[in-house]
Structures are given as C-alpha cells and as structure tokens.
Amino acid sequence: MKRSTAALAASAVVLGSAVAMLPNAMAAAQGCRVDYTVTSQWQGGFQANVKLTNLGDPVSGWSLGFTFPTSGQRVGQGWNATWSQSGSAVTATNVDWNRSLGTGASTDLGLTGTFSGSNPAPTSFALNGVACTGSPTSTNTTTTTTTTTTNPPVGRTPVEINGQLRVCGVNLCNQYNRPIQLRGMSTHGIQWFDKCYNNASLDALVNDWKSDLFRIAMYVQEQGYETNPTGFTNRVNALVDMAESRGMYALIDFHTLTPGDPNYNLARAKTFFSQVAARNANKRNVIYEIANEPNGVSWQGIKSYAEQVIPVIRAADPDAVVIVGTRAWSSLGVSEGSSETEVINNPVNATNIMYAFHFYAASHKDNYRATVSRAASRLPLFVTEFGTVTATGGGAYDRTSTAAWIDLLDQLKISYANWTYSDANESSAALRPGTCNGGDYSSGNVLTESGAYIKSRISTPDNFPTS
C-alpha cells in the first residue's frame, strides 16, 4: 500500500451515417464494425466498452464518431482514446499507441457517463467520417458483465478446479493450461489487524464473498517481520493453511515499502522465502510476491534483487508462480515517469514469473489504464493490490474509476486483490471500524461503500475453463 447490477448490457453493431470525422486522418475506405456494450449501470450512471474494428484500408490516425440517442446522456471520462462531446455527438480520437489500425485490426475503448431518463445504446457509428458497415449483432442480458462465465462444479473450490498454477505466455494458467483470473482480497498489515483473520472471517470470504484469493500482507518494516522473524513466519504459514483448507489461493506478500529499495531487505528476503518455500512446497495454493512496492530505486536494482531471491524459492519450490514488484510502487514505472518498456526490454531472467501492477482508482486513471492495456499483450501481469480510493489509502471512494479498472482487468483476465479486507479506519477498508470484534464479515451492516461494491464484483461466478 502507498502511504504518501444487475446491469443492463446492450451490444450494438449498426449501419449508419457519418457523425464525426478527423479532417487530417486517412479515411477508412469501407467502414468499420463497432461493438458497444453497457457493462454496468447504476442510478444515473453507466459504463460502456466500445470495440472498434477497422474493415477498410489501414489507417494511421482515426476518429470514431457516434450520437447518443437522448440529450441526457453525457460522457464523464474515458480511456484508450481522447473523448469529447458536443451536444449529443461524441468523438473518440486515437492516442499514440493505438493510432494505427490495419485492415481487420481492433482496439478496445471505454467510457463512463451519466444519463437522465433512459440510456439506450447509440445507433450509428463512423470511422473517420465513413459509416460503419459491420454485420449487425445485438444482445440483451441481465448479467453484470459481457464475459461468458462458467460456474464451477458444485462443491469444488478454486484450488480443486485449477490445481497448480503456472504462467503461460502472458496469462496465469491452471492445470489444464487454460488462462484464468483470480479475484480476491488482501489483508492489511498482519502486525496491526491480525484479529481480522480468523475462522469466521475466512469462512465469510469463501462462502459469501466467493473469493478465490487471499493475499497475506506481511510488512517487513513498520513493526513487522524484522521485529520477530520467527513469529511472523509462523503466522504467515498458519494463514496459508487456513486458505488451503478453504480452497483459496494464498498470495504471500513480502510487503516492502519503506525503504523502497528491496535490496535493503535482501538477506531477510532470502531467509524468509527459503523457510516458507520449503514448508509450503507441496501445496498447490501458494503464490509468492517477493517485493510489494519498490520505489526510489531503478528497475535494474529491482531486477537484481529478483534474480537473487527467485532461485532461493526455486530451490525448495520449483513449480510455484512468483510475482516481481515493479518500479514506482509497482506501477511499471509510470508513477516515476517511466513506462512498461523498461521491463519489456530488460525482463527478469527467470521462468514462471509475473509482474505486479498496483493502482488506486481515485488517483490513477486513464494513463495508467492505457499502460496496462499496452503491457498486457507483452507481460504477464498480476494486480496484487488495488484500492478504490486515493493512493494514500484514504479520500473519497471513486466508484466510476474503480468500475472502469475492474472491467478492464476482467477483459484482460488479469488477477487482482483488493486493499483491504480489514476494519481499518480508512476509506480503502472493506469493513467498518469495529467489525473484527464480532462475527459478521459480509452483511450490509458491516461493509463500507467500497467493500459492498468489491464484494458484488468478486462474488460473481468465476470463469475457470477445464478443457
């Protein structure tokens, strides 16, 4: 952590006339196909995904235009394009990384907006002023997303279904070598909120929240591991066992934060991971996160740390997935002015690894989402921590940006853990203060606004392919 509806879904692929154009762009000779899907809708607001496919000649620079059917529909914010609106006419213009669209190429855009009265889908689209002529399709559903989901077999847990995980290409894959997405919650620092993690709270996380993943945040400093290595190691192992007995994956987080250079804790990391890897090597539910949020350190420094710690884990547990933190509080360098290219051009020399990405929805918006959209085609990413609020862990809950983020992660099959499953007196907490003194971890009486929304998202059926 950094300190410093059921929904209406409607898809439309339509014929129509030109609505907007970019004068200096190359026109698409034969039009396009657009899939416009409302993925979630709430009182007065909605989120939509827009998939644009170029059916004409290659373009270098594009503008997609459409008209909202009612005057009450307005774009609030969008991603993967520059969005503008004049009256009911909306224009989405390319950003640098998706400006070129070859014949048959697609790009995924998204927006959140507001409406008054009704919220019908647009009925005409144009690419660079040329009407879209893709084959019409439309669907109506009452699910919260447009992703087809497969309910797990009755009585089977995420670990029973998926078994030992591995990295295949840019995906997290199960025992059937099929890409999957894990969704779950992170603890707060177990040195402060250990009472929140007991049989009742983990039962609720599995049975009511339908969580696949339990991230165990073991701070190294801030009254954490360095004060009692044996005690904290034993507590992490006990929580791994509790997750295992309930069929959840356990993400062991070596929560380095201050100082930000993980090499400061290199010796401690080697000791800790040699012990937990040897102890848990035969378990199928363990994932290792070796450095939470490196900051103020170069990517080369992080890479050097990873290439010294990973062999320690592999010596005891050769099969488990290992997650490497990235520069600038695990933002792939974005929060310190860099980008994912530093990792792409100089990857960690190890196999079966993923790279961490963290975001806080009220602070990290379009440019961070654009980074993830680009990086996901080149790097295996795992959002080991995210919040619905600002990067401090406090501030106002940003539902709009949070929904945009989770929809993007769902679309890309990127696994995630929300910060935090705790009753901390901060707006990022899922539980209201005092909740961990009782036995209710799921009802509307104990959930914060953030917690209620996150629970509604992770408790939807998983999509775990088995063939």
pLDDT in tens, 296-323: 999 999 999 999 999 999 999 999 999 9
Q: What is the pLDDT of residue 89?
A: 93
Per-residue pLDDT of 50-102, as tens digits, reads 888 888 888 889 999 999 999 999 998 777 788 999 999 999 998 766 788 88
How many Cβ atoms are within 10 Å of 69's Cβ, its own excluded?
15
In 3-state terms the chain splits into helix, strand, coil percentages (rounded to 5) of 30, 25, 45
Q: Which residues contact 369 (CB under 8 A, 6 or more apart)?
A: 79, 80, 404, 405, 408
Average pLDDT of the segment spanning 118-126: 89
Q: How many Å apart are CA 58 and CA 28, to the nearest integer?
A: 7
DSSP 387-445: ESS-TTS-S---HHHHHHHHHHHHHHT--EEEE-SS--SSTT-SB-TTGGGSS--SSTT
Fold of 158-458: TIM Barrel (3.20.20)
Min mean pLDDT across 93-97, 292-296, 335-339, 449-453 is at 93-97
Measured in residues, the chain has a length of 467
Range 9-141: architecture per CATH: Sandwich (2.60)
Min mean pLDDT across 143-157, 159-173, 192-206 is at 143-157
pLDDT bin (cut points 50, 70, 90) of residue 24 is: very low
Share of the chain above pLDDT 90, in %: 68
The question of whether 385 is a catalytic residue gets the answer: yes
pLDDT bin (cut points 50, 70, 90) of residue 1 is: low
- Which H helix or E strand runs over 201? helix 199-207
Query: 32 in helix, strand or coil?
Result: strand
Q: How many Å apart are CA 24 and CA 13, to the nearest integer?
A: 26
| Domain limits, the chain | 9-141, 158-458
Please tell me which residue in 244, 289, 385, 426 is annotated as part of the active site. Answer: 385
Question: Which residues in 55-155 belong to E strands, given as ranges?
Answer: 59-60, 63-67, 74-79, 82-86, 89-93, 100-101, 106-114, 125-127, 130-131, 140-141
Q: Is the pLDDT of residue 164 over 80?
A: yes
- Which H helix or E strand runs over 355? strand 353-360
pLDDT bin (cut points 50, 70, 90) of residue 17 is: very low
CA 119 to chain centre: 27
* Half-sphere exposure at residue 413, Cβ-oriented, CA atoms within 13 angstroms: 22
Q: How many Å apart are CA 335 and CA 327, to the nearest integer?
A: 8
Q: Is the pLDDT of residue 388 over 70?
A: yes
Residues in a beta bridge with 33: 53
Q: What is the pLDDT of residue 77?
A: 72
Query: 238 in helix, strand or coil?
Result: helix
pLDDT bin (cut points 50, 70, 90) of residue 30 is: low
Min mean pLDDT across 30-39, 227-236, 344-353 is at 30-39
Per-residue pLDDT of 391-438, as tens digits, reads 988 888 999 999 999 999 998 999 999 999 999 999 999 999 999 999
Residues in a beta bridge with 382: 356
Please tell me which residue in 293, 340, 342, 426 is annotated as part of the active site. Answer: 293
Min mean pLDDT across 54-58, 108-112, 192-196, 328-332 is at 108-112
Q: How many Å apart are CA 117 and CA 46, to the nearest integer?
A: 13
The question of whether 340 is a catalytic residue gets the answer: no
CA pseudo-torsion sign 302, 330, 368, 408: positive
pTM of the model as a whole? 0.71
Using CA atoms, how far residue 265 sits from 228, 261, 286, 290, 421, in Å, is: 14, 8, 22, 11, 26
Query: 108 in helix, strand or coil?
Result: strand
Q: What is the pLDDT of residue 150?
A: 46
